[in-house]
Structure 1
């Protein structure tokens, strides 16, 4: 099934996100489909197929995701309240409630994607970055940006690295975008996290491959 027009509007970071007619609703009755809560370092996760939008296919033992122009027929997809039905989003299958964690993402042939974290019970009516329950770094129209609650902040980053890192320190309230090659933080969110979080990904073309269980590069603060 092709991505709905409203979902396409959601991903165009260069347009006014506030103009979207999105009506957030609480994710009432979402089944807790996440495997465990991570409290230490070296977070290990896979992508949670139960949350994946029908246009997203998982591969490589659920560590990678590919966007399909024509996704699954929703009439044949398992009816699951944890699934994103309008937005091309998928969550990781681990929850983060404390600790400092780092993972990386390899980007293949994608010009439109979002990477970050979201509250585990975030409404499936929303797209990551458009509410106060998610914090993401995105790439669209050849430009990087940081986004939360529909607010977009340009991120100065030359080019598009093939591999990017995400650093989170739950207690310190830090979410950082990391240049995996230069081992440097490019942009940082400062957030007072209150609820359990999941790694979150949005994809509208190409592929993403996740690499979890990594040691944090030395020198990041």
Structure 2
């Protein structure tokens, strides 16, 4: 079982690596096109400013009371020409996208085909005379491909004694030698399981250590972009700027009832959830008093005091309560050192079971880490309480 687990773990790592490579190619193509569009946008902005300045001069000339001054200004304006802006054609590399998509689809189909073939093969069962104590030639399994590696031993027919025949038909495990063998076998199984657990724990610790040493540019390689989920927002949480900013509303917003909506705490979740992979996002805090940033399961309560971030077993967060900063999980508080940073980075590693909170300034500084074997998909989660408190999901252009 341990060998199988290791094999499948390697398969998963290979698939994750293939996914990361494909995603990187698409992101690079997206970045290339976005950069071109940004350049075009800047050119158009500059042209717009020129036309706006010319428009203002025309309107100013129309206000002149002196006819000669108006005509003089009009002649000057006639000499000003506005050339059309050349906008180059910008297109995605459809061949690249098609190639990446087709490669992923082919890999999926190949895996399905192989798994289906493996399931269709019925294992050959040994046949016998029906007596479990007798093992004649008919019960000998057919040689497999492993038999080619080892020479077949010649079997000499032996005449079983009455004692051995009875022992074969009715096996007992009362003899000291057999008890010793069973005990040794059990100890070996426990030892293997313990070794596997130690190896898995060592791997997780190594991965965690690696991420703690990463710089901000390295963390941004795992950056994700998401919007806030309108259906989860409490009636006192106002969403703005294309659902990327959460703030405290002056009066209740009378949102439509929804089973996912928070009705007790002024909280909101991200629209997307993450069950596997590594994901990073940053949040800008404006007036960082009485607000919180964290992650939670979709099954987190929506009503009552236990629905507050960190006050249940389904959420983990870092919270600003006036001037105090704390980490919360399962209603247990851990007070943290204060920081002047107004930006928080969250690194969620679903595969190796940890979530890290960083204070982001010129460099990133670890605020707190939670090590958890996550059992559900996780959502970005936010709490805003005091007037003026505002959280913004950062973009990474």
Using structure 2 for the length normalisation, give the TM-score.
0.42
Q: 1:154 aligns with which of 335, 338, 342?
A: 335
Number of equivalent positions: 172
- Structure of greater relative contact order (alpha carbons < 8 Å, 6+ residues apart): 1
* Separation (CA, whole Å) in 2 of partners of 1:81 and 1:195: 19
Q: Does residue 273 of structure 2 align to residue 95 of structure 1?
A: yes
* Aligned residues: CA RMSD: 1.8
Q: 1:80 aligns with which of 243, 258, 283?
A: 258
Unaligned stretches of 5+ residues in structure 1: 1-38, 216-221
The Cα shift of 1:44 comes to 2.1
Q: 1:186 aligns with which of 349, 360, 367?
A: 367
Highest Rg: 1 or 2? 2
* Separation (CA, whole Å) in 1 of partners of 2:358 and 2:248: 24
Provide the secondary structure at the position in 2 that maps to 1:96: coil
Q: Does residue 297 of structure 2 align to residue 114 of structure 1?
A: no
The Cα shift of 1:56 comes to 0.4
* Separation (CA, whole Å) in 1 of partners of 2:250 and 2:380: 23
The Cα shift of 1:177 comes to 1.1
Aligned to 2:136: none
Contact between 1:50 and 1:80, CA under 8 Å: does it hold in 2? Answer: yes
* Separation (CA, whole Å) in 1 of partners of 2:285 and 2:223: 21
User: Which structure dedicates a bigger proportion of its chain to helix?
Assistant: 2
Aligned to 1:218: none
Using structure 1 for the length normalisation, give the TM-score.
0.73
Write out aligned runs for 1:12-161 (5 A): 41-73=222-254, 77-125=255-303, 126-159=307-340, 161=341
Contact between 2:342 and 2:360, CA under 8 Å: does it hold in 1? Answer: no
Unaligned stretches of 5+ residues in structure 2: 1-18, 21-221
